[in-house]
Amino acid sequence: MSTDPKPQLHPRTRAVHAGTRRSQYGEMAEALFMTQGFAYDTAEQAEARFINVGPDEFIYARYGNPTSRMFEDRIASLEGTEDAFATASGMAAVNGALMSMVKPGDHIVSSSALFGSCLYVLDLLAKFGVEISYVDGTDLDQWKAAIRPGTKAVFFESMSNPTLQIVDIAGVAKLAHAVGALVVADNVFATPTFSNAAEQGADVIIYSTTKHIDGAGRALGGVICGTRDFVRNVAEPYLKHTGAAISPFNAWLMLNGLTTMDLRVRAMADSALQVATALESLPQISKVIYPGLASHPQHTLAARQMGTGGTMIAADTGSKDAAFRAMNRLEVAKISNNLGDAKTIVTHPTTTTHQRLSEEARLALGITPGLLRISVGLEHPEDLIADLRQALAG
């Protein structure tokens, strides 16, 4: 049976208890139901379940599984949406949410500052006859000009990768809702803790749970949060028939990840502000991009929308050589391309995550050859600052 705490309890309390389902054994820790199928008492019961699945009934893990459902219920509670569907990766969630809602001839308006794989999905939709208009996500006038009667959906990363541009969710939602378009937010960088996306007007909120929700860089996962009608009647049929389901084991990791996420991301964001402040005073860094700093052009919007600058920083070292030299001298932070991990990760977007883009496209997005992306982890901030300082001084 599912045991949901009262919705008025604080998110930290719901992160510990929401969505828990206990078997007849009353186990304290959430059980890992590592099963694809479910046995029926009778043939009649199987027949009945295929006609109508009850809230505590399951048919096949591609459709749903008790451990996956615990994770879905917990994140929906935290996000403030009616329901959620967990997927094998963040990209399965992006693809599933967008693909399931459109047909040829539909129109989507999207921010152009997107993760490469998200751009790939939009190109795929265009190939099947969906019209895509790209805008500068930070410019409400461009959204206004592009959104038109009949626009099906708007799509954006609420904080963009890697240059940390913030999209005004409430502002875009107002324009989109005026024509009946759905607001789809890839909210990975904001994390469910700092999200408020549903409150601001987002209809569909997507996470790569691979990032802060797992929080230890162990497993891939994704999730689509939204109304029960969207999640179960629009997204789920597409996801379950095309095989996007999360593994129950990964859902179990994510479920446990949510329990500590609030504490982790708050500590990471506190450290990120300290690291960003320290970087701003270093002569080797020409520019620090961190929404928590007054120097960020959307500092006020970030504070209003998320109440924090988040856990990610971008810093310009001036050149690829300087960036590589600093990365190769790091002793605590690791060179990798994940984010939201307990371990601080430094990435060089130009040569890795955004290598596929042309130089011109990269520069248009602010991805300069010397830019480093820093995902601040759970180490002591003084150790991180000392590490970056010595690496950059070299």
Ligand X SMILES: *Cc1c(COP(=O)(O)O)cnc(C)c1O
Site residues, ligand X (CB under 6 A) = 89-91, 94, 115, 117-118, 157, 161, 186, 188, 208, 210-211, 220, 222
Q: How far is the CB of 28 from ligand X (least distance, A)?
A: 30
335's enclosing H/E stretch is: strand 334-335
Phi, psi of 371 (to 5 degrees): -75, 130
Pairing of strands 131-135, 153-157: unpaired
Q: How far is the CB of 52 from ligand X (least distance, A)?
A: 33
**CB neighbours of residue 299 within 10 Å:** 16
145's enclosing H/E stretch is: helix 140-146
Q: How far is the CB of 90 from ligand X (least distance, A)?
A: 2
Nearer to ligand X, 148 or 356 (CB): 356
CA distance 239 to 63: 8
Nearer to ligand X, 72 or 186 (CB): 186
Q: How far is the CB of 188 from ligand X (least distance, A)?
A: 4
Q: How far is the CB of 24 from ligand X (least distance, A)?
A: 35
Nearer to ligand X, 20 or 210 (CB): 210
Pairing of strands 83-87, 107-111: unpaired
Nearer to ligand X, 254 or 391 (CB): 254
Q: How far is the CB of 190 from ligand X (least distance, A)?
A: 10
Q: How far is the CB of 174 from ligand X (least distance, A)?
A: 23
Nearer to ligand X, 138 or 161 (CB): 161
For 83-137, the three-class secondary structure string (H helix, E strand, C coil) is EEEEECCHHHHHHHHHHHHCCCCCEEEEECCCCHHHHHHHHHHHHCCCEEEEECC
Q: Taking the mean position of all CA atoms in its chain, how far away is CA 4?
A: 24
**One-letter amino acid for residue 221 of the chain:** G
Within 8 A by CB and 6+ apart from 56, the residues are: 1, 2, 21
Please give the residue whose beta carbon sits closest to ligand X in the complex.
90
Nearer to ligand X, 213 or 391 (CB): 213
Q: How far is the CB of 353 from ligand X (least distance, A)?
A: 9
Nearer to ligand X, 96 or 222 (CB): 222
Nearer to ligand X, 30 or 186 (CB): 186
Within 8 A by CB and 6+ apart from 328, the residues are: none
Residue 370 tokens, joined: 């010397």
Asked whether 279 and 388 are in contact (CB, 8 A), the reply is: yes
Asked whether 1 and 56 are in contact (CB, 8 A), the reply is: yes
Nearer to ligand X, 33 or 207 (CB): 207
Task: Output the CA angle 352-355-143, nearest 5 degrees.
Answer: 110
- Angstrom distances, CA of residue 221 to CA of 62, 85, 244, 260, 384: 14, 11, 10, 17, 28
Q: How far is the CB of 392 from ligand X (least distance, A)?
A: 25
Nearer to ligand X, 151 or 210 (CB): 210
C-alpha radius of gyration, the chain, whole number: 21
CA distance 163 to 366: 7
**One-letter amino acid for residue 52 of the chain:** N
Q: How far is the CB of 273 from ligand X (least distance, A)?
A: 21
Question: Half-sphere exposure (CA, 13 Å, Cβ side) for 333?
Answer: 34
